[in-house]
Every structure is written in structure tokens, then in C-alpha cells.
A and B are shown apart, each in its own frame.
Chain A
Amino acid sequence: MSGLLKRAVDLVVVMLCVATMVFVLLRAIPGDPVLIMGGLDNIDAAAVERARTEMGLDRSLPEQYAIWVGALLRGDLGASLRSGSRVGTLIAEALPITLQLGGMALLIGLAISVPAGIAAARRAGTARDAGITALAIVGISTPPFVIAMALIYLFAVVLQALPTSGYVPFAEDPVANLRHMILPALTLGLVAAGVLVRMMRRCVLDELGEDYVRLARSKGIPESQVTYRHAARNAMIPFVTIVGIEAGILLSGAVITETLFAVPGLGRLMVDNINQRDYPVVQGAVLVTAIIYVLINSGVDALYAILDPRVGARARSRGE
């Protein structure tokens, strides 16, 4: 049990660091939120003061920090300076959308990269391998918004088949939801695939050079069986770690994609409110994003234990 406890403590420490950093960063941004939010014309000084007090912006910085951390530890993310809505609520509305986007993107990315990576590794050094690698390099060199533009051009302008912005909740209308989400998910998925293809290829190639692959071949089994049942199966283990890292990249990419496609997810929440200097919302959103990222990496570790019988055994023998 101590392993898990250590992990939890680590998580809290990192979260505190992140929270502090967010706080400091935001306060460093010049610009008074009250003035910005209210528009800069005809401000009545007294009204500004009242607004400040309401928002708690008249306290000293250390005081604000202490209040923030205190509230955090109680699970309270504060309220939006603009609308007064609970930050927790805003995030709870935006988070599932981002998760759906990320999930779909990851699935698309894996569906492309795993077979392509294996195919490239199998024919390493040939034209097919060079072609797949070249595509992957172009993939990682293209900014997400360019991919998005290309997809928009293809599907919305030329084919006129899909909408280019907006969002419909799944519960309301599953088909419309998917129609709106497919382009952003495809965008992110292609970005992810670019990175993952080369990683999968590398992982499979490394396995193909191992002794047990040679022994498998010596049994006289078909080469495809060697590739899939032996090399690829073992390659998934290091590959899964990379997928975890990729999750962070996906979260980054989601920001731009959500903004472009007007999808009301966490990323867009952040961008919109940074400009407005709505500190609590941004703080809360960034914090939640960082938590998700760390949780994903922990999840990857757990997945490792399932995929690799050696790890699970060692962990069990240590009494974790």
C-alpha cells in the first residue's frame, strides 16, 4: 500500500507546485481584470472599488494566495470573476467535451499509427518504410491548425459534408454530436498519429532484433505470426509509455483545435478567460488539465503492470 500512498503524496505536491505556478503566472499578467472585464469607458471609481472588494482583489497577494490554496484543499475552485458561476461547474461542463475529443483523437491516432508502425518495421529499409516515415515526418511538422484547415477545406468546402464549428451534446443528438466532433477529432488524431507511427516503428524494430524473435522464427512459423504475436506484442509495452506522454501533447493541441472549431471544451475555456483575466477560471482549468495529465501517466504505469507479467510479479512480490 505504501507505493500507492507515495504516489498520492507526490501527486499532491506536484499539484501544489502547479497551483502556485499558475497563481504567480496569472498575477504577472499586466492588466486589471475589473477594468478589462468592464470595458474601459466611463468607469465610476467607486464602482470599481466595490467590484474589487467583491472579487477579493483588494487583498494583498500573499493573502489571495493563501485563500486560493485553502479553498483548493477544500475542493473549492472559486467563482468566475465575470459571471460569478462556480468554477467547478464551468469545468464540469467543459471537461467531458474535451475528454470526448481527446478520447476520439487517441483512438483515431492509434488506429492509424499501430498498423502503420508495424508495417514500416516489417519492411524496414524498403520504399514502403521510407514512404510511411516520410508521411509521419510531414505529420509532425504540420501545425494542428493547418491540418484542421486542410480538413475543413476538404470536408466543408469541397464536399460540404460536415459542419465546421459548434457543438451538440451527445445526450441531445448523438449523430449531430459526432458530425461536429469528427473533424476536430480527426485533426488531433492525425497530429497524434504522426508522432506515434515513428515510435511504434522504433519499438517494433527494437523487438525484431531480439533473441526470442530469432527463436520464434526457428520454429518455422509464418513471418506475420512472428511480427504480431512476438515482436508487436512486446513492443506495446514501451509504446504504452509513449502514448501517455502523447496525451500531454494532445491536451496542448486541444486548445487550438477547440478554438478553431468552436468546441466548448476545457482548452477554449482557458483561452477565452485568459484574455479576460478571469483568474479563478483559468487557474481552475489549468489545474484540472495538469491533474488529468498526471493521472494519465499514473494510469500508464498501471497499464504497464498489466501488459508486462514481469512488472506485475515484481510489484506483487514487493507487497504493493
Chain B
Amino acid sequence: MIALAPSADLLRRIFASPMGAIGGALLAIVLCAAILGPLVVAGDPLRQFLRPDRIFLPPASDALFGTDNLGRDVLARVLAGMRLSLALATAAVAVGLAIGAALGAFAGLVGGIADRIIVRAMDALMAFPVLILAIAVAVAFGRGPQGIVVAVAFVNVPIFARLARSQTLRIVAMPYMTAAEILGCSLWRRLWRHLIPNLFNPLIVQGTISLSFAVLIEAGLSFLGLGVQAPRPALGLMIAEAKAFIGIAPHLVLFPSLGIVAIVVALNLVGDAFAEATDPRRARP
């Protein structure tokens, strides 16, 4: 039975390293905050209090992260924004992985003209600085979260395609694939039993790395006004709106920023720990 999920041993190794442990803990905190937060925290991210005594409140016991220019509770908004970022990034990377891996594996298996076309297309896509490509796609899809998902998925497709293709080429050349063929294994069976399980690990490692970038890109896009629109909370958007008030209410920039940084640091640490744990060059005890 081929184990498709990371084995318990691998997980243990990832979180045993200092990077993995800190990253894991941080990620757990971030996930709890984002998912459970709105249930626990009283504030409403959208409710405005346009009274002079309720706007621009500094962080205090009453409103933990203070309130913004429209009297909205910053803590509630940051938590909602974190949830949005995680959801969008995960969706986007999942889509990008699925499409990219399929394309890449296909190119690796089929070879010939199709392979060459796909490779050139992926190279051309990667010649674009990432954000510019994302902006173009996001604008093409109009405002709203779906544009973000498509944009981030789009920039991820070439990365996963290249990875899947090089891994496919490597695996197909392995003696055990030839042996399976000689033994009469059908193509589908060979793919299912050998190719896919071996693609899994490198794709997951890249996936975790891509997640952290996806969150950053999403933040950048929402900073530029693409993606979800005001008054809904998106971390980048909140920072863009707060720029004008940085002199009088720096906490409006600080807390959403911390939210982004916390998520990305956690993802980076876990991703790095994962990459190290699955690196075949590491000496095994």
C-alpha cells in the first residue's frame, strides 16, 4: 500500500528541528487565530462607529488592537484578513499545483513537440517578474477574490510544471520503471504506483514554499487595490488605507503587517524544515 500522506516519522523529524518546532508552533497559533478567532473575539470587522470618541483608538484593553478611522475593531479585521489570506493562498497554490503538475508530468511522459511547446511556454511565463504577471491576470479578472486566486495560481503553474517535468523525467528513467514495464504493468498502473507517489514529496515541499510566496503576492495585490474591495478586510488593503494615517495612528499599519509577517514566517519555517527533512542528501542516523 503506497502511503500518500507524509509518514508519521517524517512529520516527527520536521517538527524536531528547531526551525520546524518554532515554525510549527507559530503556524498553529496563526491557524487558531485565523480560524477560531472570529468565534472568540467579540468585535465585528465591518461594523463602523463614526463617532469621534470611537475612531483611531489606540491599542487598549477595550479594543485590543485599537480602532481604525471608521471606528472598526482592528483585531477583528486583522483576524478576518488573516483567514482570507490563508484561504486564498491555499486555494491558489492547490490549483496551481494541480494544473502545473499535470502539465509538467504530461510533458515529461509524452516528450516530443508537446513537451517542447510546454517547456517554452513555461519559460516565457517565468521570464515575467512574478508580481507583474499577477497584476496583469488580476486586472483581467476584475476586482474580487477570484481574480487573486487565478493570478496566484497562474504564476505558480510554471514552477510546478517545471518541477513535475524534471521529476517525471528522472523517475521514468529509473530501472524499476523499465522493470515494471517488462513485467507487463499497464501504463496507468505504472503511473499510479510509481510516478505519483514519487512526485508527491517534492511537490509538497515546493507547495509549502509557494504558499508563503502566495500570501505575499496576495498581500501585494490587495495593497494595490486588486482583490477584495473595501470595506471587506484584506491585510494588504488595510495597510494601503492606513498609509494616510501613519502619522497619527501607526497601529493601523502595524497590526495588519504583523499578521502578514506571522503567517509568512510560520510558513517559511515549516517549509524549510520540510525541505531539509526530505532532502536525500541529509545523512540519516
Query: Do A and B come together as binding partners?
Result: yes
What is the interface of chain A, defined by CB distance below 8 A to chain B? 13-14, 17-18, 20-22, 25-26, 28-30, 137-138, 140-146, 149-150, 152-153, 157, 248-249, 251-253, 255-256, 259-260, 267, 270-271, 274-275, 282, 286, 289-290, 293-294
Q: In the assembled complex, how far is the CB of residue A21 from the closest CB belonging to chain B, in whole angstroms?
A: 6
The reply to whether the CB of B265 lies closer than 8 angstroms to some CB of chain A is: yes
Contact A18 B127 (CB under 8 A): yes
> Complex Cα distance A255/B133, Å?
11
Q: Which of the candidate stretches B74-82, B161-169, B215-223 sits at the interface with the other chain?
A: B215-223
Per the bound structure, the CA–CA distance linking A152 and B268 in Å amounts to 26
Let me know if B136 and A289 touch, CB within 8 A: no
Q: Assuming the A-B contacts A252-B132, A274-B139, A286-B136, are A142 and B124 also in contact, with contact meaning beta carbons closer than 8 angstroms in the complex?
A: no
Interface residues of B in 125-144 (CB under 8 A from A): 125, 127-132, 135-137, 139-140, 142
Q: Is the CB of B136 within 8 A of A13?
A: no
Say if the beta carbon of B148 comes within 8 Å of chain A.
Answer: no
Q: A141-B212, A274-B135, A290-B127 are in contact. Are A256 and B220 (CB under 8 A)?
A: yes
Interface of A is mostly: helix
Contact in complex: A142, B257 (CB < 8 Å): yes
CA A150 to CA B257, docked complex, whole Å: 10
> Could you list some 30 contacts between A and B, CB below 8 A?
A14-B124, A17-B120, A17-B123, A17-B124, A21-B124, A21-B128, A29-B136, A141-B212, A141-B264, A143-B220, A143-B236, A144-B220, A145-B219, A145-B220, A145-B223, A146-B239, A146-B253, A146-B260, A149-B257, A153-B250, A157-B246, A249-B130, A252-B131, A255-B129, A255-B132, A256-B131, A267-B132, A275-B139, A289-B132, A290-B128
**B129:A289 contact, CB within 8 angstroms:** yes
Q: Is B42 in the interface zone, CB < 8 Å from A?
A: no
**A137, A138, A153, A271: which contacts B253 (Cβ < 8 A)?**
A153
4 A-B pairs besides A255-B132, A286-B128, A289-B132 with CB distance below 8 A are A20-B124, A146-B260, A256-B224, A270-B132
**Residue on A nearest B260 in the bound complex, by CB:** A143
B265 contacts which chain A residues (CB < 8 A)?
Answer: 137-138, 141
Min C-beta distance of A17 to chain B, whole Å: 3
Contact of A137 among B139, B224, B247, B269 (CB under 8 A): B269
Most chain B beta-carbon contacts within 10 A, residue among A141, A275, A289, A294: A141
Q: Cβ of B10: which chain A residues have Cβ within 8 Å of it?
A: none
Smallest CB-CB A-B distances: 8 pairs: A17-B124, A141-B264, A252-B131, A252-B129, A251-B129, A29-B140, A141-B265, A146-B257
B216 touches A255 (CB 8 A): no
Residue B28, interface by CB 8 Å: no
| Contact among A29, A140, A289, A293 with B268 in the assembled complex (CB-CB below 8 Å) | A140
Q: Find chain A residues with CB under 8 A from B261 CB.
A: 138, 141-142, 146
Cβ 8 A contact of A294, one of B127, B142, B250:
B127
Chain A residues contacting B236 (CB-CB under 8 Å) are 143, 145
Residues of chain A contacted by B247 (CB below 8 angstroms): 157
Cβ of B142: which chain A residues have Cβ within 8 Å of it?
A: 30
CA distance A252 to B133 in the complex (A): 9
CB distance from B97 to the nearest CB of A (A): 21
- Across-interface contacts of B47 in A (CB, < 8 A): none
Which B residue sits closest to A256, measured CB to CB?
Answer: B220
- Indicate if the CB atoms of B253 and A256 lie closer than 8 Å: no
Chain A: CB-nearest residue to B23:
A137
Nearest residue (CB) in A for B140 is: A29
Q: Nearest Cβ in chain B — how far from A61, in angstroms?
A: 15
Q: Which A residue sits closest to B256, measured CB to CB?
A: A146
Whose C-beta in chain B lies nearest to the C-beta of A260?
A: B243
Residues of B with C-beta under 8 A to A259: 224
Tell me, in angstroms, the Cα distance from A275 to B139 when the chains sit together.
7
Specify which chain B residues have a CB less than 8 angstroms from the CB of A253 in the assembled complex: 131
Name A253's closest neighbour in chain B (CB-CB): B131
**B180 contacts which chain A residues (CB < 8 A)?**
none
| Residues of B contacting A146 in the complex (Cβ-Cβ under 8 angstroms) | 239, 253, 257, 260-261
Proximity string of chain B (200-224) to chain A, C-beta cutoff 8 Å, 1 when within and 0 when not: 0000000000001000100110011
A146 to B139, CA, bound (A): 23
Bits for B230-264, please: 1 = Cβ < 8 Å to A, else 0: 00000010011001001100100100010011001
Which of B120, B130, B140 is A25 in contact with, Cβ under 8 Å? B140
Q: How many angstroms from the CA of A293 to the CA of B129 in the assembled complex? A: 8
A282 to chain B, nearest CB (A): 8
* A141 near B268: Cβ-Cβ < 8 Å: yes
- On whether the beta carbons of B216 and A143 are closer than 8 Å, the reply is yes
- Write out the residue numbers on chain A whose beta carbons fall within 8 Å of the beta carbon of B130: 248-249, 252
Give the docked Cα–Cα distance between A141 and B261 (Å): 6
Q: Verify B140–A145 contact, CB threshold 8 A.
A: no
CA of A140 to CA of B213, assembled, Å = 9
Which of chain B's residues 164-218 have a Cβ closer than 8 Å to chain A?
212, 216
Q: For the complex, give the distance between the alpha carbons of A267 and B265 in Å.
A: 27
Q: Chain B residues with Cβ under 8 A from A28's Cβ?
A: 140
Q: Which of A18, A145, A282 contacts B128 (CB 8 A)?
A: A18
Complex Cα distance, B136 from A160, in Å, reads 36
CB distance from A12 to the nearest CB of B (A): 12
Closest Cβ of chain A to B209, distance in Å, is 11
| Known A143-B219, A149-B257, A286-B128; contact A274-B136, beta-carbon cutoff 8 A | yes
- In the bound complex, what is the Cα–Cα distance between A14 and B128 (angstroms)? 11
Chain A residues lying within 8 Å of B125, measured Cβ to Cβ, are 21
Across the interface, which residues of B come within 8 angstroms of A286, CB to CB? Answer: 128, 132, 136
* Interface: B121 (CB within 8 A): yes
Which of these, B127, B136, B240, contacts A14 with CB under 8 Å? B127
